Amino acid sequence: MAFSNSHVMTSSRLVETIQINFEDFSESFLTCGTCLNLFDAGEHQPKLLPCSHTLCRSCLQRIMQGPGPGRQAESFRCPICREGIAVPHGGGAAAFPPSFVVNQLLDLMASQRRDLVPKCSIHSGRELLFCETCDTVFCPACLSHQAKADHTVLSFSVAVKRMTEILLYKATLAASQLGSAYEAVCREVETLDANAEACMQSVDQAFQQLRDLVDRRHSTVRETVKRVKEEKRRALKEQLELIGQEKARVESECEGLQYQMDVMAITKKISDLNAKLDTFAGLSEPRENAYMEFSRDSSASGVANANVVDDECLRSVEAALQRCGKVRVSTTHPGLCSVQLLSGADAATAGLRCSALLHTVDYHGRRRRDGDDPVSARLETPGGEQLEIGVVDKGDGSYELNFLPLSAGRHRLDVRVFGRPVRDCPLALDVAGRQRPAAKAGGAGRGSQPGQLQAPYAVAVGRNGEVYISDTGNSRIVVLDSTLRWLGDLGRSACTGQSATGLAVDAGGRLWVANWRQRRVFEVEPVEDRISSSLQSAAFREPGLVAVGPRGHVIVGDAGAGAVFVCDPTLTEADGALLARIDGLSGLTALAVGCHDSAASAVQREPQMLLCCAVGAKLLVYEIGAGQGSEAESAIGIRHSLTGSACGSSAVTGLALDSDGRLLASRATGDVEVHSRPLGEFLCRVVPEEAEKLRRPGGVASLGQGWLAVVDAQGHAVKKFRYV
């Protein structure tokens, strides 16, 4: 709604009325400056103050409210100009005069507004209302619509204004999105032109190289023709010169023979010529032939099949050219592709490798079945650092993304195809600083009941994935499955006296249990739960550690003797042979009571064996000779020593090697280190979360597929963690 324009010319002045929007005029001049409500004839009646500012009656009553209930102030300040205003006696807010100008404008606006606001066709003069909840226009007098108490009912003009604002907002938003879409498509067109130009340059370069190869071969063959021609020509020229020389000699000798009167001289000449005639017969045959012909196949021989060979050669060249170069295109639509975290966002842990899988989709929403898309991915750390991610094309339309978060916190995974982000990227990835165990057994207090452990010491894994725990406090071996569910127990006859500590499994699936109190290492058949044999030696003092060598030899670590022994279980009298003495090992006498100051493990390295021993915070690696019997094996010496801040300074309490040769080392601080190999590169550290902290970790073993099991002697539990 607007006022009309007009120009009125008088003798003294020019009066001009301008066009004013009704809504803008109402908001500017007919709105209370304090509560921003439109003036009306009721609660928001306009009142004129002595300072010439206008406020509604409701705001005046609120401003004039005194400090106590039912009391009003005698004066106040205008909220617009801050001038002091005295309150009329006995009248309050109603005593202030109405604003005549505002009321006149309200009447004018009302008259103009009545011409625009639609009325009910039945009840003239009644304005229509709009129910925003039901999206319905109705007349309140017709009762055609029963608006409920919780419905939002607006006057038609307000509804039109609100809907217009919503429409304008949506239109602006749509225009903005379309503008962004236009810019994105324009960028794609520019990228297409640039890629096409680069592709054309690559095509020209590739085929120029082919042309260069053809030109070089062409020049080589032409030079060969010239060289062969010159060689043949030289041979024939030499023969011509020889023939000319002989001819000239004969002619010179025959000159004056008609005047020769000596018969004997003539006879001799005839004899010489006869001899030369036989020689000249050889000169009559060219010593070099003039044959020269080009064949397209350098390996071809013979003339009979030359045409066939030429055709085959041309076809092979044509086939090779057909295979030379390919314009790669793709129907992948990045906006429809999705990324799936293989381990789940809640499983991401700092220091452990994570994987995600990108599934590509074409423009029609169909899953792609081939690869070769240019996929790039980056991981943004909480500090804003950008880490590159390895992308593996699986060839079936999916791509594996492998990355290693190094710190805890919110990371952002950004995956792009053709440089455009895929759906929902960048993905938020919360990386935990500590790891929650995937499974655990025990931990419910020390005890001997099924599901309970008491001071477990070592862990070993059988051929079928079963997990054996030396439950030292209960003098038994507990058997669990790979998820650490309880299967039973065995080996009580070998674990007497609460002194069975070391545990190992040989290639035949038999258990070897070190009992330091009995000074023996028992061979236990797990299926029949019986002792098959035992190893003992007069040199044993406190054999508490055991490992199995590559040829079935049993390696025994004895902290009491400060030595490592090797035993051949195939011998009837298998006495332990001294393998190595370790400086400082004699000071680890607390091993018998569970201080866990030393650990041992053995791994085959053909034709030798590496023996890893831990003494305190040190890791010593021995190289063992590959003799045929235990007597022939001897420690060559310490090859390396693993110490340093990256590897920790606390005591090593358990050692293990997985199938890939990675070294697992549990430490007294309650974590497990992972190295690429014995004394190799430090890879990561498994740190349990605070609620699952390892209070006194012991033996550790690899469960395969990047999982490990570690025992907690003080927590009376065994826990499963991921380390790859």
Amino acid at 176: S
Q: Specify the pLDDT at position 586.
A: 30
Tokens describing residue 669: 């601080």
The confidence band for 86, taking pLDDT boundaries of 50, 70 and 90, is confident
The confidence band for 343, taking pLDDT boundaries of 50, 70 and 90, is low
Render 546-579 in DSSP notation, one character per residue: EEE-TTSPEEEEETTTTEEEEE-TTSSS-PPEEE
CB 556 within 8 A of CB 630: no
Distances (CA, A) of 3 to 19, 21, 111, 118, 625: 5, 7, 12, 19, 108
CB 455 within 8 A of CB 473: yes
Picking from 568, 565, 567, 553, the residue whose alpha carbon sits closest to that of residue 603 is 553
CB 707 within 8 A of CB 719: no
Amino acid at 611: L
The confidence band for 52, taking pLDDT boundaries of 50, 70 and 90, is confident
- Selected residue with higher pLDDT from 458 and 618: 458
Average pLDDT taken over every residue of the chain: 79
Q: How many helices (H) and strands (E) does the chain have?
A: 6, 42
CB 602 within 8 A of CB 555: yes
The confidence band for 44, taking pLDDT boundaries of 50, 70 and 90, is confident
- Asked whether the predicted pLDDT for residue 349 surpasses 70, the reply is yes
The Cα 612–Cα 620 span in angstroms is 6
Which whole number is the average pLDDT over 509-533?
A: 91
Domain ranges within the chain, ordered by starting residue: 22-114, 229-258+276-283, 334-431, 439-596+608-627+634-722
The confidence band for 662, taking pLDDT boundaries of 50, 70 and 90, is confident
Pick the range with the lowest mean pLDDT from 127-136, 304-313, 328-337, 536-545.
304-313
Q: How far is CA 287 from the centre of its chain?
A: 76
Render 438-452 in DSSP notation, one character per residue: SEEEE-S-S-SSTT-
- Selected residue with higher pLDDT from 187 and 342: 187
Q: Specify the pLDDT at position 588.
A: 30
Which whole number is the average pLDDT over 702-720?
A: 92
Q: Is the pTM of this model over 0.85?
A: no
- Asked whether the predicted pLDDT for residue 639 surpasses 50, the reply is no
CB 721 within 8 A of CB 677: no
- Asked whether the predicted pLDDT for residue 330 surpasses 60, the reply is yes
**Three-class secondary structure of residue 708 per DSSP:** strand
Q: Specify the pLDDT at position 591.
A: 28
Picking from 575, 589, 584, 495, the residue whose alpha carbon sits closest to that of residue 538 is 575
Q: Which residues contact 240 (CB under 8 A, 6 or more apart)?
A: none
Q: Specify the pLDDT at position 711.
A: 94
**Three-class secondary structure of residue 402 per DSSP:** strand
- Selected residue with higher pLDDT from 425 and 277: 425
Which whole number is the average pLDDT over 153-164?
A: 77
The Cα 349–Cα 408 span in angstroms is 7
Which whole number is the average pLDDT over 251-272?
A: 72
CB 375 within 8 A of CB 417: yes
Pick the range with the lowest mean pLDDT from 49-58, 245-254, 306-315.
306-315
Which whole number is the average pLDDT over 155-167?
A: 78
Tell the CATH topology of 439-596+608-627+634-722. Neuraminidase (2.120.10)
Q: Which CATH number fits domain 334-431: 3.90.45.10, 1.10.340.30, 2.60.40.10, 2.40.30.200?
A: 2.60.40.10
- Asked whether the predicted pLDDT for residue 511 surpasses 60, the reply is yes
Picking from 360, 359, 349, the residue whose alpha carbon sits closest to that of residue 403 is 349
The dihedral over CA atoms of 99, 105, 109, 111, expressed in degrees to the nearest 10, equals: 90
The confidence band for 9, taking pLDDT boundaries of 50, 70 and 90, is very low
The confidence band for 716, taking pLDDT boundaries of 50, 70 and 90, is very high
**Three-class secondary structure of residue 503 per DSSP:** strand
Which whole number is the average pLDDT over 596-600?
A: 46
**Three-class secondary structure of residue 466 per DSSP:** coil
Which whole number is the average pLDDT over 102-128?
A: 71
Q: Each residue of 603-627: pLDDT tens digit?
A: 544 436 677 777 788 777 776 654 4
Q: Specify the pLDDT at position 477.
A: 93
The confidence band for 587, taking pLDDT boundaries of 50, 70 and 90, is very low
The Cα 17–Cα 686 span in angstroms is 82
Please state, as a whole number, how many other Cβ atoms lie within 10 Å of the Cβ of residue 637: 9
**Three-class secondary structure of residue 251 per DSSP:** helix
Pick the range with the lowest mean pLDDT from 47-61, 342-356, 366-380, 530-544.
342-356
**Three-class secondary structure of residue 243 per DSSP:** helix
- Asked whether the predicted pLDDT for residue 305 surpasses 60, the reply is no
The Cα 225–Cα 696 span in angstroms is 87
Work out the percent of the chain whose per-residue pLDDT is above 70. 79
Work out the percent of the chain whose per-residue pLDDT is above 90. 15
The single-letter DSSP state of residue 97 is P
Pick the range with the lowest mean pLDDT from 212-226, 248-262, 319-333.
248-262
The Cα 103–Cα 30 span in angstroms is 9
Q: Specify the pLDDT at position 288.
A: 82
CATH code assigned to 22-114: 3.30.40.10
Render 636-664 in DSSP notation, one character per residue: EEEEEEE-SGGG-SSPEEEEEE-TT--EE
Residue carrying the six token digits 């499963």: 720
Q: What pairs with residue 580 in β-bridges?
A: 564
Q: What pairs with residue 136 in β-bridges?
A: 131
- Asked whether the predicted pLDDT for residue 599 surpasses 70, the reply is no
Pick the range with the lowest mean pLDDT from 101-110, 213-222, 351-360, 367-376.
101-110
Distances (CA, A) of 376 to 107, 360, 362, 448: 68, 13, 18, 55
The Cα 540–Cα 557 span in angstroms is 9
Which whole number is the average pLDDT over 687-707?
A: 89
Picking from 503, 602, 504, the residue whose alpha carbon sits closest to that of residue 549 is 602
**Three-class secondary structure of residue 44 per DSSP:** coil
Q: Specify the pLDDT at position 608.
A: 61
Q: Specify the pLDDT at position 351.
A: 77
**Three-class secondary structure of residue 280 per DSSP:** helix
Tokens describing residue 651: 């005591």
The confidence band for 5, taking pLDDT boundaries of 50, 70 and 90, is very low
Please state, as a whole number, how many other Cβ atoms lie within 10 Å of the Cβ of residue 162: 13
Pick the range with the lowest mean pLDDT from 373-377, 615-619, 647-651, 669-673.
647-651
Tokens describing residue 276: 């030369």
